[in-house]
Structure 1
């Protein structure tokens, strides 16, 4: 008998959705448009940074060894296109007006002064050990340190500035090291090959592998789970609207006077919208697997992970349904439920890492993000897709999502009973 009542509640929800074409569009079409649009934008940005060069102004007032080495390093980086037909004043005007992102100005006599400075210091060090090189020279006062001028567009991102400054510092540091090493060779009369002066410590990134292939994260691996979660939680809008409609049309009154318990109606909504969540997920995955390769995007790889991904989807769907039931139970009108539901989903997405990675947020917001059910779901998806975790590895996130559903439904039932108590 209970199963029959649950079945009738399920049929009622299907009929309500069939009458709400706008809700169907929100549930299915909008997320598909979002995932395609956002992924194309992010992938295009990534390819732009990787594949094309940023025009910057390069002014060489030194015209000697050091400036030529810096210029060669910048050109070999395949990141910058060097523009040289400027003087310092015109370069400053062009950058500060926003025509170019940056300019690099190499000062006059940089190589000459650097060599003199290094020779002076090396002679001092060699002399302090009581050694005299074959080419001992009269000590002269070391020239002042030279400055390479960097001009940045005031609107340039701080991360880009830091990246460029670190790159220039690294280039200058390596050039100075080679020159110092060469100066010691000259002073001490050694004949060791300069090319053998390699870095004794280097960095090597160890990445996960699939067979012999490196597994590198891409825009698709973020956007498919992220926008799937956004779509799942957007069912809050039609779900809460339908609950408000039931109250305004008297359906909820008939449900209360019927012998069917209120929690059965909630279970009927839960099963209905869980099916919708699974369909949403499968549509998103289908787009990632079959459509993205035709748009010159990486294919979404779900091999051996579908069971885990569907499990996360079910638990994320429960959390979204619980939130929708709570909102629809508390709201009195559609004007309350619809805008609040849409806005709250956007806020949960923002603090949950759907748009901006959590690690880029301020420390306070990183703490806040831990309380977003979307963040729990996204972390569970990441653990499966990027870290190859199993169900055991995501048990904590699944438990949080289930507890969120149980808590919101319990509050909804308590509120409904209190409001209708005689």
Structure 2
């Protein structure tokens, strides 16, 4: 009857019940669409970059050709049919009109070749071939050259690092080719061919399940994260419900029945656990059936649904325990609602829902281990992305259930102590 009572209360607030189910769906669809479009922008859509060529030599020509071939960038060398100067590039980038500008310095090709000639002549002379080649001339000091990169102040650090790495690799290949060519000229072997293809390459080994490659995507990361966020948001209506019962005197009348407070708490637990599981299955259904129709990858839960349901169940226990504790301690709805919302957001932030834990500072990585959202999220990832067995997620779901036991016990003890006083 305690469970029936909770369902009747929820039924009376139909608007709140609809929001409880609809808002998480809107949240997961919106966030996944945004992140998926961001991922595609970084991999499919070319980013226009400004190229200021002050060199007009072979190096700048090679840089331009390589950038044109690159699938991530499109090169812009003119604005309003005028060649771009460094000042124009700097102004346009700093105003956010372009994300990147590359400025190739004057005499880069000539000075690079001169420096390589010096180095090669020095090596050849030390090898004892000085009589067979032109005698080395006195070396002149050649200043180091800088390829300037201007970034829009709003771009992320990861974008900067990836661009600088790509350009550094490109310049290194140009230098290597120039060194090979100079050695050919020194030894009179102009027809010799040096292979420019990298000898060492990298290959990502993708995990396979049933002989099929499992490629992670934005859906597989977002659905577990925001499902967990929605489950924990049950804290707000649950805590408000408890506060209402206390302020309206309903809770006192319930205690006059020949049942313990634990029975009342268990009624709330079962009721809101059902809601959590409905939320979970709705989120999964949307990710499987709706996402492909709005341009998103479908969520692949092949062989994972049972274990995902187990994780969702124990995550629901943790969220309900926290809601019961908050509702028991809070004296008014004005206390429970803002504190509940803020605490859930904080738990999500430190738990890795928004920012991956590995990207956090060391101290925050340690703190993240104390968030029940982190336990639930890691358990979801273990099941969905790492293909683990039930026994391997037992430590994480045990922590979630222990959190429920501790918070509920504290709530019962606090309530008993308060009524005794």
TM class by smaller structure: over 0.9
Q: Which moved more, 1:26-35 or 1:312-321?
A: 26-35
Match among 19, 28, 38 for residue 12 of structure 2: 19
Residues in 2 aligned to 1:80 and 1:329: alpha-carbon distance in whole angstroms: 57
> Aligned residue for 1:386?
385
CA offset at residue 191 of structure 1? 7.1
Match among 88, 91, 100 for residue 89 of structure 2: 91
> Aligned residue for 2:81?
none
> Aligned residue for 1:183?
182
Residues in 2 aligned to 1:133 and 1:110: alpha-carbon distance in whole angstroms: 31
* Structure-2 change in CA distance of 1:373 and 1:157 (3 Å): same
> Aligned residue for 2:119?
121
> Aligned residue for 1:299?
298
What's the CA shift string for 1:206-243, capped at 9, x where partnerless?
A: 11124454322111111111111111111111111111
Number of residues paired by the alignment? 415
Q: Residue 303 of structure 1: SS of its match in structure 2? A: coil
Q: Residue 103 of structure 2: SS of its match in structure 1? A: strand
Residues in 2 aligned to 1:198 and 1:37: alpha-carbon distance in whole angstroms: 43
Q: Residue 201 of structure 2: SS of its match in structure 1? A: coil
Residues in 2 aligned to 1:356 and 1:133: alpha-carbon distance in whole angstroms: 64
Q: Which moved more, 1:188-197 or 1:301-310?
A: 188-197
C-alpha contact 1:95 1:101 (8 A) present in aligned 2: yes
> Aligned residue for 1:318?
317
Match among 5, 9, 12 for residue 2 of structure 2: 9
Residues in 2 aligned to 1:384 and 1:253: alpha-carbon distance in whole angstroms: 44
C-alpha contact 1:182 1:194 (8 A) present in aligned 2: no
Q: Residue 420 of structure 2: SS of its match in structure 1? A: coil
What's the CA shift string for 1:82-134, capped at 9, x where partnerless?
A: 11121222222222333222211212222222111111111101111212385
Structure 1: give runs of 5+ residues left out of the alignment. 1-7
> Aligned residue for 2:361?
362
Q: Which moved more, 1:29-38 or 1:254-263?
A: 254-263
Residues in 2 aligned to 1:197 and 1:175: alpha-carbon distance in whole angstroms: 10
C-alpha contact 2:180 2:194 (8 A) present in aligned 1: no
Q: How does 1:305-344 map to 2 (within 5 A)?
A: 305-344=304-343
TM-score, normalising length: structure 1 = 0.94
> Aligned residue for 1:132?
130
Residues in 2 aligned to 1:133 and 1:144: alpha-carbon distance in whole angstroms: 29
What's the CA shift string for 1:341-387, capped at 9, x where partnerless?
A: 11111111111111121122222222211111111100000001110
> Aligned residue for 2:213?
214
Q: Does 1:72 align with 2:70?
A: no
What's the CA shift string for 1:280-326, capped at 9, x where partnerless?
A: 11100000000000001000011101110000011000000100110
C-alpha contact 1:133 1:188 (8 A) present in aligned 2: no
Q: Does 1:31 align with 2:24?
A: yes
* Structure-2 change in CA distance of 1:198 and 1:54 (3 Å): closer
| Over 3 Å off, 4+ runs | 132-135, 188-195, 197-200, 210-213
Match among 109, 120, 123 for residue 111 of structure 1: 109
* Structure-2 change in CA distance of 1:192 and 1:320 (3 Å): farther
TM-score, normalising length: structure 2 = 0.94
> Aligned residue for 1:196?
195
Residues in 2 aligned to 1:323 and 1:204: alpha-carbon distance in whole angstroms: 45
C-alpha contact 1:107 1:147 (8 A) present in aligned 2: yes
Q: Residue 93 of structure 1: SS of its match in structure 2? A: helix
Q: Residue 162 of structure 2: SS of its match in structure 1? A: helix
Q: Residue 371 of structure 1: SS of its match in structure 2? A: coil
C-alpha contact 1:75 1:82 (8 A) present in aligned 2: yes
* Structure-2 change in CA distance of 1:81 and 1:200 (3 Å): closer
Residues in 2 aligned to 1:264 and 1:384: alpha-carbon distance in whole angstroms: 33
C-alpha contact 1:135 1:186 (8 A) present in aligned 2: no
Q: Residue 196 of structure 1: SS of its match in structure 2? A: coil
What's the CA shift string for 1:161-215, capped at 9, x where partnerless?
A: 2222221111111111121122223324457854435433322211112445432
C-alpha contact 2:3 2:271 (8 A) present in aligned 1: yes
Residues in 1 aligned to 2:345 and 2:314: alpha-carbon distance in whole angstroms: 19
Structure 2: give runs of 5+ residues left out of the alignment. 79-83
Q: Residue 420 of structure 1: SS of its match in structure 2? A: helix
